[in-house]
Amino acid sequence: MKYVEYAAFNKPEGCFICDAVKSEDPDEKFVLHRDEKTVIIMNIYPYNTGHILIAPVRHVANLEDLSLDEIKSMGVILQKSILLLKKVLKPDGFNVGLNLGRVAGAGLEDHLHFHVVPRWNGDTNFMPIIANTKVIPEAIRETFLKLKKGEEGIFNVEP
């Protein structure tokens, strides 16, 4: 409901990804990892527990505008993020994707980002159908803290 009310009455200004990158308190913005090319943040309006976003640090909208180094960095971080989510949350699978352009579902179309959504057998239920409500079984802050604790060493090792 928080998202529905926000989206209905507010047009976001600026870029929440750039805000997270520049934040003096990355934990407040749910930044799991940041290096010179790539940032990982928790989706604060998740589709499922552990839903993360992987984005270039540079504010860029189009896949074709990424440098080769940015593409490589995002690929490595995507790989390591999936390893982290497997280690900590033990999902049965993942949805990984990009929404390029508003018509494709991009809520933030000016800053390219991958969605990584952990999935478990039986994680969908009747609530979205009958109540237009998504049930997330764990608070985002709790998931964030688990992932921060579990990431030790994962992003510092070559793939």
Helix (H, G, I), strand (E, B) or coil at 93: strand
* Residue at 2 is within a domain: no
* Residue at 95 is within a domain: yes
**Which domain range does residue 49 map to?**
12-156
Q: What is the pLDDT of residue 134?
A: 64
What is the DSSP code string of 17-83? HHHHHH-S-TTTTTEEEE-SSEEEEE-SS-SSTT-EEEEESS----GGGS-HHHHHHHHHHHHHHHH
**What is this structure's pTM?**
0.81
Query: Which residues, other chains included, contact 95 with Cβ-Cβ below 8 Å and sequence gap of 6+?
Result: 47, 115, 116, 117, 119
31, pLDDT greater than 80:
yes
Q: Using a pLDDT cut of 70, give the percent of the chain over it.
A: 81
* Residue at 135 is within a domain: yes
**Residue 45 or residue 106, greater confidence:** 45
* Residue at 6 is within a domain: no
**31 in Cβ contact with 23 (< 8 Å):** yes
CA 40 to chain CA centroid, nearest Å: 6
Residue 137 binned pLDDT confidence (cut-offs 50, 70, 90)? confident
Q: How many domains does the chain have?
A: 1
Catalytic residue positions? 113
**Average per-residue pLDDT for the chain:** 85
CA 97 to chain CA centroid, nearest Å: 10
**Residue 57 or residue 125, greater confidence:** 57
* Residue at 3 is within a domain: no
Query: What phi and psi, each to the nearest 5 degrees, are found at residue 126?
Result: -80, -15
86, pLDDT greater than 70:
yes
pLDDT per residue as tens digits for the range 38-59: 999 999 888 899 999 999 999 9
Q: What is the pLDDT of residue 54?
A: 97
CATH number at residue 66: 3.30.428.10
Q: What is the pLDDT of residue 12?
A: 59
Q: What is the pLDDT of residue 34?
A: 94
